[in-house]
Structure 1
Amino acid sequence: MDFSEKTAWFSKKAALPLVLTWAGLLMALLPLFLKSYFISVLSATGFGLFTLGSIWYIYLKFRNTDSANLQHYVWFNQFSARRSAAWLLGIILTAFYIVLFWFPEYLTGLIRIFDPLSFLLRGRQADEWFLYGGLYTLAILIMGVRALLKYQSSPYHKWRTVSIMFFQLVLAFILPNVLALFKEPEFYFSYFWPLKYDYLFPVSFENLQKHPGGLTTFMLFWTVSLSFLATPILTYFFGKRWYCSWVCGCGGLAETAGDPFRQLSNKSRKAWQLEVAIIYPVLGFITLTTALLWLNSYYKGGILGSLSGGFAHTYGFFIGMIFSGVVGVGFYPLLGSRVWCRFGCPLAAYLGWLQKHFSRFRITTNGGQCISCGNCSTYCEMGIDVKWYAQQGKPIIRAACVGCGMCATVCPRGVLKLENKKPEGRYEPTSFIHAESLRIL
């Protein structure tokens, strides 16, 4: 069966699941415009049809994926090639985040659809954040099925995707809500400082101490130990991939729902310099803010007054909301799937610094077999020019690399390999060009 025959066969088989998907989506969104019990039931049914149709369509499209053409025709697709559909999707995603953050009253009808699930998990009505968590988790699960089928030839990607789906569903959605059901703090065990920046704020410690017991003591221990003890150890052995590609919800959305847009990341040197110029100051800002809050708490506000709190609110607004949400996800179809991870995430900066200087993780290359096809660089979501390293047979040791392994997966010659090796001699440049590249890391 040639390509045209395959296309005709797929178009015929995919017609029904596409109808279910779009019809389900339209039904699910009805509460935004109409409000009644009947509309709510219709909307809930719509979510079910949307999920069924999406997974059915994904199964038909990717069940027989050719591992040699994983990204076939990606630059001809309306959604994945910055065409009109991509701009429309970007506008819709951005508008959703703006409404969610600042005008949640317009989502009331949609929020009420999640009341049954909210009562089941946490014993009270849903709010805008439960709606967001539910939709976020649903996106990762549906697109996680897509990733499992698309990259079925790679055990690494299959296990990584299963890990992402598990941590998002269990630790980032179900468990925090179940804790709330039992009157415990709504705690997210898969997030920690500085990504979940307020977990090390004095007020967070005070709120946890209002719930005496072994569980809250464990939460305090978990927050501190994971931030300053477990993170350096795990990063030493596995690089930042242990978190950014296997655990993190932000990375999980990028690796699943954001996979069609990974090739859109800017690979230019200016983008690399901009990345370094932004991400480390963000880390410095939240570190300073945390320190100031603790200092002010120790002196009971006698030194800084409300100034340190102003730092926290400023960071939360510009970085926690606008950058990570509106830009970080809303701009997927235009700038790629890792804009937040690459340019703004303070935890990525922290992990990247550890990976650059101390980790055993690197991607090794075999320059003698490289045919300069450029697949590795094209599909690197972090904007790394992998081909430059591969052509010279140099190991890739970059602070930005999240160890997703996509470069190795799309390489037709097996030139690239993810490895953990001893860190000796990691930064000995062998040429002026290489030295300049390392200098701006």
Structure 2
Amino acid sequence: MSSPTLSAAPTTPVSPAEKLTLTVIGLGLLALLPATFDADPWRAQLFFYVALGLVSAGTLVWAARTFGRRPAGVQQDNLWQRSSTGRGAVAWLTALVLTGFYVILYWFSSPDEHGNFGVLNNLVHALDPLSQVLRNRPADQWFLYGTFYTLAVLVMGGRALWKYRHSPYQRIRTVSVMFFQLGFAWLLPGLLLALQKPEYYFSYFWPLKYDYLFPGTVSYLLQDGGPGLGVFLIFWGVVMSFVGTPILTYFFGKRWYCSWVCGCGGLAETAGDPYRHLSDKSRGAWRWEVRLIYPILVLIVLVTALLWLGAAGVLPAWFTTARPSQFSLVTNLSPVDGLGKIYGFFIGSIFSGVIGVGFYPLLGNRVWCRFGCPMAAYLGLLQKHFSRFRISTNGAQCISCGNCSNVCEMGIDVKQYAQRGEPIIRASCVGCGMCSTACPRGVLNLENGPREGRYQASPLIHADSLRILS
């Protein structure tokens, strides 16, 4: 007698129109090869813009046809059966390409004396006309990255708008991250450079943008920004880090930043949306989260404090001034400067970029936000202990479908809270609201209510229990 087997859930057949749009996207990706390696600059530039146009148009048309024809609602069917979203061969290939791009960008694209950017040279110089218009200077590898990043948020944001068109909260939140990435993280920094002012990203704050409050950066802003703009940029960074962040988090939780403003969160919520179900919900993953994210926050606070103590003359000069490396792990750097460089290499580059984005298809879209981001740790502590924000639950209405846990990108087993009628007050919660959007019964609600009773379970679950007992 043969053992019973579970039959696979039926998959939706791919229509000819969908196949056509996917073919267009594939041709766009293929066009990146001659754009990267063609020796003729004009042809390389032509292939580059053709590639961007095909990928962008194909993705938006695919999203309109795929999600526009479905009934409204969050549908996560068959995600684990697809090679692209179920850690299959396509997912591994995607992770390899993303990781390889970040490795090349960070460590193999610095220009030589002739302005050659290595493997990325054609792609960088293809953006020279756009860079001249926006920044009044030729493109570099970071302008290429910023353009790719912004385009990914905008195009995949369009996909998210189609997918979650039934939810006003998700529509507004998606438009918000698209706006801040385009305006505050791409256009404004470029315009500042065009005006011969310091490049500054207004949507990033310390400790995420950790060097913004380093003494060297403050001196640079004052020198290149002048007494007016330079002082304003420093004031903006300090006030948003130590005044604006606590106040906004008190009223709205960490969602005001992690899900509405931050570029890292913006990429995760748009380009990373297909992978949100991959987040590990196990207790072991939560333990690693605590072991990693809070020590990283402590480390950057320590480095920043030591640098300022050195600048104030409190610490010995050798401790904070560049000198021979007898005291340091990094050549010609003092211990504190060396520690800052090590932090930038392992946390700012490898963790946030190579792993944080490259591993989207394998570990989910919030690996960096969940395990490594010091800003998320800072906001999470404020949210858990001082904020009015919570996700209330009505356990009497929960049918244990698990949709909420499946879509939680931060690895929270939301269903367990919903079944007990307990409010969700977790430091890791970014308030994306997907659990509430995916719930078919309206069990979950994002609230900024009074702190009184914030940790109490819903009275409805207790009333229901009393009825059962009687």
Indicate the residue corresponding to 2:5 in structure 1: none
Query: Deviation string for 1:136-155 (max 9, x for gaps)?
Result: 11111110001000000000
Q: Which has the larger radius of gyration?
A: 2
Pairwise CA distance, 1:398: 0.3
Instruction: Tell me if the contact between 1:265 and 1:383 (Cα under 8 Å) persists in the aligned partners.
Output: yes
Asked if structure 2 preserves the Cα contact closer than 8 Å seen for 1:65 and 1:150, the reply is no
What's the counterpart of residue 49 of structure 1?
54
Q: Find the aligned partners of 1:195 and 1:268 in 2 and give their Cα distance.
A: 26
Distance 2:140 2:129 in 1: 12
SS at match of 1:363: strand
Match of 1:217 in 2: 231
The residue identity in structure 2 corresponding to 1:278 is L
Relative distance call for 1:304 and 1:425 in structure 2 (3 A) is: farther
Which residue is 1:253 aligned to?
267
Q: How does 1:181-330 map to 2 (within 5 A)?
A: 181-211=194-224, 212-299=226-313, 302=317, 304-305=319-320, 306-330=334-358
Contact 1:160 1:246 in 2 (8 A): yes
Q: Root-mean-square deviation (CA), in Å?
A: 1.8
Decide whether aligned partners of structure 1 residues 102 and 20 sit closer, same or farther in structure 2, where only a CA change above 3 A counts. Answer: same
Give unmatched runs, 5+ long, in structure 2: 1-8, 110-117, 321-333, 459-470
Q: Does 1:345 align with 2:373?
A: yes
- The 5-angstrom pairing of residues 274-423 of structure 1 reads 274-299=288-313, 302=317, 304-305=319-320, 306-423=334-451
> What amino acid is aligned across from residue 17 of structure 1 in structure 2?
T
CA contact (8 A) 2:423 2:455 kept: no
CA distance in 1: counterparts of 2:79 and 2:61, whole angstroms: 21
Q: For residue 210 of structure 1, give the secondary structure of its aligned residue in structure 2.
A: helix
Distance 2:108 2:434 in 1: 38
Verify the 8 A CA contact 1:278 1:343 in the aligned structure 2: yes
1:148-159 correspondence to structure 2 within 5 Å: 148-159=161-172
Shift of 1:391: 0.4
1:48: how far off? 1.5
Letter in 2 for 1:247: V
1:337-379 CA-to-partner distances (Å, cap 9, x unmatched) read 0000000000000000000001000000000011111111111
Which amino acid in 1 is paired with 2:450? Answer: K
State the one-letter code of the partner of 2:253. Answer: G
Measured after TM superposition, the shift of residue 113 of structure 1 is 1.3
Distance 2:392 2:94 in 1: 37
State the partner residue of 2:326.
Answer: none
CA contact (8 A) 1:65 1:149 kept: no
Q: Where does residue 145 of structure 1 map in the other structure?
A: 158
State the shift of 1:425 in Å: 4.5
What is the letter of the counterpart of residue 263 of structure 2? Answer: G
Q: Give 1:18 deviation, angstroms.
A: 2.2
- Give the aligned residue type for 1:318: F
Residue 20 of structure 2 corresponds to residue 16 of structure 1:
yes
| Count of equivalent residues | 426
Q: After superposition, what is the alpha-carbon deviation per residue over 1:311-352, rounded to whole angstroms, capped at 9, x for unaligned?
A: 110110010000000000000000000000000000000000
Aligned equivalents of 1:397, 1:15: Cα separation in 2: 43
In the alignment, the residues of structure 2 paired with residue 88 and residue 16 of structure 1 have an alpha-carbon distance, to the nearest angstrom, of 22
**How far apart, CA to CA, are the structure 1 residues paired with 2:394 and 2:219?**
53
Equivalents in 2 of 1:261, 1:301: separation in Å?
49
Decide whether aligned partners of structure 1 residues 69 and 403 sit closer, same or farther in structure 2, where only a CA change above 3 A counts.
closer
- Cα pair distance change 1:385/1:35, threshold 3 Å: same
1:427 is displaced (CA, Å) by 4.8
Match of 2:182 among 130, 151, 169: 169
Q: Is the 8 A contact 2:221 2:230 kept in 1?
A: yes
Question: Contact 1:25–1:46 (CA<8 Å) still a contact in 2?
Answer: yes
Is 2:96 the counterpart of 1:91? yes
Identity of aligned residues (%): 57
2-side partners of 1:69 and 1:130: how far apart?
35
More displaced 10-residue stretch of structure 1: 87-96 or 13-22? 13-22
Which residue identity is paired with 2:294? Y
What letter is aligned with 1:200?
L
Structure 1 residue 429 displacement after superposition = 9.5
Residue pair 1:14, 1:57 contacting (<8 A) in 2 also: yes
Q: CA deviation at 1:214?
A: 1.9
Segments of structure 1 that go 5 or more residues without pairing to the other structure are 431-441
